[in-house]
């Protein structure tokens, strides 16, 4: 309702991805099928969030819908890994407040406009300068022509969630 009573572009939906988008397998026709490998399914969920951000951008062009990667943060995310992983990862991690900077920029920056609909925001608050073509391509296919892997994923999600509406 808020979007219908507010100026175009003043309402935002910020989705969350992660660095996993950068390492995910190329999305293909089986993208919506669970890999049954926790890391692959996690990657798919983060790429899927970008696809859903683009789907909302396509469906509601008056809403700014973007996805953001909060960054590599010192959080409890590594608690389920072997004890060596936190030690090895520590030099690559930043204080969690930096993730908040990314999220705040994505949610509040006046630099973002409807022209950025469906975009990917990277740490610490900037548009991704060169997203992978094999991941960004399906986003563009959905935004421009409403077809492809991202559009198929949107349809899968619509079908899978219809009974919960």
Q: Which of 99, 105, 7, 120 is nearest to 57 (CA)?
A: 120
Out of 44, 46, 98, 120, pick the active-site residue. 46
How many other C-beta atoms can be found within 10 angstroms of the C-beta atom of residue 156?
15
How many other C-beta atoms can be found within 10 angstroms of the C-beta atom of residue 56?
19
Burial of residue 71 (CB within 10 Å: 0-12, 13-18, 19+) is buried
Q: Which of 70, 154, 66 is nearest to 118 (CA)?
A: 66
Q: How far apart are CA 24 and CA 45, in angstroms?
A: 10
- Tell me whether residue 120 is one of the annotated catalytic residues: no
62 is written with which tokens? 């008056």
Out of 42, 74, 94, 101, pick the active-site residue. 42
- Tell me whether residue 101 is one of the annotated catalytic residues: no
Active site residues: 42, 46
């Amino acid at each position: 309702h808020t979007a219908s009573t507010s100026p175009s572009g003043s309402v935002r939906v910020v989705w969350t991805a992660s660095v996993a988008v950068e390492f995910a397998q190329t999305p293909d026709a089986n993208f919506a099928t669970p890999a049954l490998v926790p890391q692959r399914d996690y990657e798919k969920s983060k790429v899927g969030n970008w696809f859903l951000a683009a789907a909302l951008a396509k469906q509601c062009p008056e809403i700014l819908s973007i996805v953001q990667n909060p960054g590599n943060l010192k959080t409890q995310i590594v608690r389920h890994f072997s004890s060596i992983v936190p030690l090895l990862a520590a030099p690559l991690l930043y204080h969690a407040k930096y993730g908040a900077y990314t999220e705040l920029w994505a949610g509040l920056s006046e630099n973002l406009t409807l022209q950025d609909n469906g975009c990917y925001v990277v740490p610490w608050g900037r548009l991704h300068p060169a997203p992978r073509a094999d991941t960004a391509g399906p986003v563009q296919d959905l935004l421009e022509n409403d077809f492809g892997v991202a559009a198929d994923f949107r349809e899968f999600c619509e079908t899978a969630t219809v009974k919960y509406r």
